[in-house]
A and B are shown apart, each in its own frame.
Chain A
Amino acid sequence: MAQAEQVTRVRQSGRIWRRVKLLAESPVGMVGAALVLFWIIVAILAPWLAPYDPNVNDPSTVPDHIDPMMDPTPNSVYLLGTDNQGRDLLSRIIWGSRIVLIVAPTATLSAYVVGCLLGLLAGYYRGWVDTLISRFSDIVLSFPAIVLYILIITRLGPSALNVVIAVIFIASPQIVRIVRGITMEQRELDYVTAAKMRGESSLYIMLVEILPNTRGPLIVDACLRMGYTTIQIGVLGFLGLGLPPPNADWGSMIKDAYAMMSSAPHMSLFPAIAISSLVVGFSLLADGLREISLRD
């Protein structure tokens, strides 16, 4: 009898809550979720968490503190030390999380909007629409991603918007492939025929009937892709193609500091830890989500 109650209770609770509970059963997914959540909270609370202005040289007003230009290593005033210009590393990393957590999801989501639409069109209409979209995707995919990033950013100039545009251009072909495949499979199913028989428009069939059924594989992929984009933003920053200074971009912070790796390793080490912890967080979360989707 106790089991019966449990079963009904599980059924009654909401779908989202049920998924959260399932995720809680996957330790890997929980670690990932915790890491991502940590950075989201840091980004939201940046103005209150950051001890100093991230763009001011030697911001501390503590009397008689060690001059960062003499000794930039971590001390009681600057907990993670200071960078080559005497700015507080902790504050810069905290503010930097805002940049990455705004640019990466915006870019990934935009790539998803474009990728899903093109994928649906290609998979649903087939024929020349498919040929056009698929061949164009193939061309983009045949270039090494990093080369394309460098080409686009050097052409358009470094800015948050241009990073988003570059990610749309480079990531959406892969999303097109996934969505196209699922659409081709789903459009043959009877529920699509039933929709046609009651006279639904192609747009309705694509967006309301087919698109929701692509979400299983797409949610996992989106999470992984968020990690890739974070890395790409870091790489662009490192190559000097990130956000223009004085923005506290994690990648740019490593670039500014890597020449001093031997004398002041902390300057590049802490931003690097920040990037990798967020990327690992996204990957582990994706693993957890995949585990759930397999069980469902």
Chain B
Amino acid sequence: MTPSRTDQEIRQHPKSDRPILELQNVCISYVTRAGRIDVVPNLSFSLAKGEALGLVGESGCGKSTVAYAIMKYLGGAGRVSEGKILFDGRDMATMTANELRDIRGRKLAMVYQDPMSSLNPTMRIGAQLEEVPILHMGASRAEARERAIKMLTEVNLPDPQTIVERYPHQLSGGQQQRVVIAMALMAEPDLLVMDEPTTGLDVTVEAAVLDLVAQLRRKHDTAIIFISHNLGTVLRVCDRVGVMYFGELAEEGPIRDVFANPRHPYTRGLLDSIPTMGADKRSRRLNPIVGQVPSALLRPDGCGFASRCSFMDPTRCLSGEIPTISMSGEAQHHVKCLRIAELPEHRRFQVVSDDQPEAVAAENNAEILTIDHLHKIYRQSTSPFGGEYRDVRALTDVELGAQRGRTLAVVGESGCGKSSLAKILTGIELSTKGKVRLMEWDIGSVPVASRSQAQKKSIQMVFQNPESTLNPSHTVGYVIRRALQRLKGLRAGEARKQAQDLLRQVNLPAEFASRRPRQLSGGQKQRVAIARALAGDPTVVIADEPVSALDVSVQAAIINLLIDLQDQRDTTLVFISHDLAVVRFLADSVAVMYLGRVVEYGTVDQVYSPPFHPYTEALLSAAPVAEVGKERTRIILEGTLPSTTEQITGCAFASRCPRKIGAICDTQPPPEQITPQGHRVLCHIPLSDLTKLNYQAAE
């Protein structure tokens, strides 16, 4: 490819003479019954000491494979079949098992997505951390304990003295991930490989962990390879970014240059498919990347991205070697594309005018779903012999409304009650107190089995996890036909015909009817789930995080589909999400939930502009943004989430609120402040003061 590249890079980092990690024309393959499959055909890059490189791309592009190859954890079938991986100048292929173990513990560490997979559930946190210095540095137990506590303090864990005595399951997900990071940093490694370290965490926790990583890196001068599918998180942590597609680096360079001026059509596609914070559905549609990553079995000649590229030139892109070109004027920015000189200049979408959305929002539709002082209390048995209970307050006094043909978004972190709300709406759970009115019915305390045919038909749901939403034993056609037969009472022949229509409406070819879920990609499964939900022409569709498990490129297509279908059918959408950018884009009105309460409620424009509830403000500041120059000062939430079993007398957010004004927050429930336009904020601070504080913080 470009042999001169590595020399050039070394020169760019004068503080180190030798890169900590260097990949030279590495080919990673898996040997299967079908023969050798080159998942990563030819990869070269280098990483200077203390540098942070982000690897981004859709799932199946080889990001994790590269990480595992660096760790030499490829497993039985995988191996580096060509090229060299040099760690600190030494070829890792020539190292003995002992040398490797030594390096892995002391110089090279990895952090995985699921913290529980790196923690031993039967060992106390302290003992697990102490292993590293005892085994690799010959430290005594007392020294090791001291180091462990010091490290736990560094990763901002409260009260490290008690944490060392705990078992992993006694910590929250965010705390577990911090422990894993502390463990990885115990030996002060030269290189830290992080594979989606924050993907399973809530936004506010994620923001804290990302800040921590950036801060520790500066302190210990650790080089980092940070793998993520979320472009925003990469922008927060890394100096350089490599965009991987189909096992190759499509584009690579300083992260600000790449994000501000993306050259490769794939990078542009990725950036265009995520909603920007300023944009919404009234001003534009998202631009998904069509198609999906091809199977590594069928590596085509020419450019791997050609089949999905809108700039593909059939005369040149489909054959021959595609060179990696260095951008003139931008040092270190490399693009693997023939046509970069010919491509039009790229512009991220900007809001053109904001009077149009206002006009639409003003128009009021009939309220079709009304949630009125809804409470949900789960009884939890505290004694194995029964008789003793404690109450878990999942929802407290929730009041919301959704209009016909509009989208009501419910946002909040895990445990805020948004899924409990969905379960009550669908009749899987019953409300404890309060009403849910759907058109003329009160459905809050009617279980789904007792709902009338018309009620079942009117409210349907799209689920979060594409892997469990479809029965693996049933074909796509059967799933949709069955829904049509049950909800609309159609005969088999008619159902068959309408099932084809539905498949077409969710942009799937008719022959998918005979496929089974395991033959579909995640996005295709979600489309089938949407078709199933729409089968009975519902008035209300509840979508519980329908895109959070999908790649950004696919996510954009599903969001567009939801918007189009809503336009055509005038369906009301209750969209449950933790992704504030998606909500900003898709929703008409937004409810922000915290610990079972709606803390802020209003139209999108009201919720996304001051005055913010302090929790909304923290959420917005924590959301990772993949736009250069749009990063905000982050508000890190300290303190712990109160347990849902506690009886809270004051404000639920008081224990973590950065704007807490005093004892009143702990003792008195906050008043509901409503503006004449209907914007509702649950806070002791007067709205005018909140607005002032918000603007001060933004400056």
Residues of A within 8 A of B (CB): 3-4, 7, 11, 25, 189-191, 193-194, 196-200, 209, 212-213, 215
Contact = CB atoms under 8 A, between A and B. Distances in A.
21 contacts: A3-B297, A3-B298, A7-B295, A7-B297, A190-B463, A190-B464, A191-B471, A193-B426, A194-B469, A197-B426, A197-B456, A198-B482, A198-B535, A198-B536, A199-B449, A199-B451, A199-B453, A199-B456, A200-B486, A209-B473, A215-B473
Contacts of B474: 209, 212
B80 to A, nearest CB: 23
| Residue from A11, A191, A197 whose CB has the most chain B CB atoms within 10 Å | A197
B486 A191 contact: no
A190 B468 contact: yes
A194 B463 CA distance: 9
Contacts of B461: 193-194, 197
A191 B470 contact: yes
B473 A213 contact: yes
A193 B463 contact: yes
B460 interface: yes
A213 B471 contact: yes
Contacts of B472: 213
Contact of A193 (B295, B428, B535): B428
Nearest to B451: A199
B654 interface: no
A193 B464 CA distance: 12
| Chain B interface size, under 10 / 10 to 19 / 20 to 34 / 35 or more | 35 or more
A4 B300 CA distance: 11
B533 to A, nearest CB: 8
Interface in B437-484: 448-449, 451, 453, 456, 459-461, 463-465, 468-474, 482-483
A199 B448 contact: yes
Nearest to B478: A208
A277 to B, nearest CB: 30
A26 to B, nearest CB: 11
A212 B487 CA distance: 23
A154 B535 CA distance: 59
B347 interface: no
Given A25-B33, A191-B469, A196 B298 contact: no
A189 B473 contact: no
Given A3-B298, A194-B529, A213-B473, 15 more contacts: A190-B469, A193-B463, A194-B463, A196-B428, A198-B482, A198-B487, A198-B535, A199-B449, A199-B456, A199-B486, A209-B474, A212-B473, A212-B474, A213-B471, A215-B473
A183 to B, nearest CB: 14
A200 B479 CA distance: 12
Contacts of A215: 473
Nearest to B427: A197
Interface string B110-136: 000000000000000000000000000
B240 interface: no
A213 B470 CA distance: 12
Contacts of B465: 190
Nearest to B482: A198
Contacts of B334: none
Nearest to A6: B34
Contacts of A7: 295, 297-298
B469 A198 contact: no
B532 interface: yes
Contacts of A25: 33
Given A3-B297, A3-B298, A199-B486, A194 B532 contact: yes
Nearest to B456: A199
Nearest to B518: A296
Nearest to A213: B473
The secondary structure that dominates the A interface is helix
A7 B295 CA distance: 11
A215 B471 CA distance: 13
A25 B473 CA distance: 24
A189 B468 contact: yes
A2 to B, nearest CB: 11
Given A193-B428, A209-B471, A213-B473, A198 B483 contact: yes
A197 B457 CA distance: 9
Contacts of B532: 194
| Residue from A4, A194, A200 whose CB has the most chain B CB atoms within 10 Å | A194
A4 B298 contact: yes
Nearest to B447: A196
A295 B674 CA distance: 59
A199 B473 CA distance: 19
Nearest to B428: A193
B495 to A, nearest CB: 12
A6 to B, nearest CB: 8
A200 B456 CA distance: 11
B448 A196 contact: yes
A44 B600 CA distance: 75
A11 B514 CA distance: 12
Contacts of A196: 428, 448-449
A214 B482 CA distance: 21
B486 A198 contact: yes
A252 B470 CA distance: 51
A294 B472 CA distance: 16
A200 B297 CA distance: 42
A99 B321 CA distance: 68
A215 B472 CA distance: 12
A215 B473 CA distance: 10
Contacts of B456: 197-199
Contacts of B482: 198
A25 B32 CA distance: 13
B249 to A, nearest CB: 25
A126 B542 CA distance: 28
Nearest to B484: A198
Nearest to A189: B468
Contacts of B33: 25
Nearest to B453: A199
Contacts of A3: 34, 297-298
Interface string B187-225: 000000000000000000000000000000000000000
A267 B502 CA distance: 69
Contacts of B483: 198
Contacts of B449: 196, 199
A103 B470 CA distance: 38
A242 to B, nearest CB: 39
Nearest to B538: A197
A197 B450 CA distance: 11
Contacts of A189: 468
A33 B619 CA distance: 61
Contacts of A198: 456, 460, 482-483, 486-487, 535-536
Nearest to B535: A198
A194 B536 CA distance: 13
Nearest to A196: B448
Interface string B484-496: 0011000000000
Nearest to A214: B473
B298 to A, nearest CB: 6
Contacts of A213: 471-473
A191 B473 CA distance: 11
A196 B449 CA distance: 7
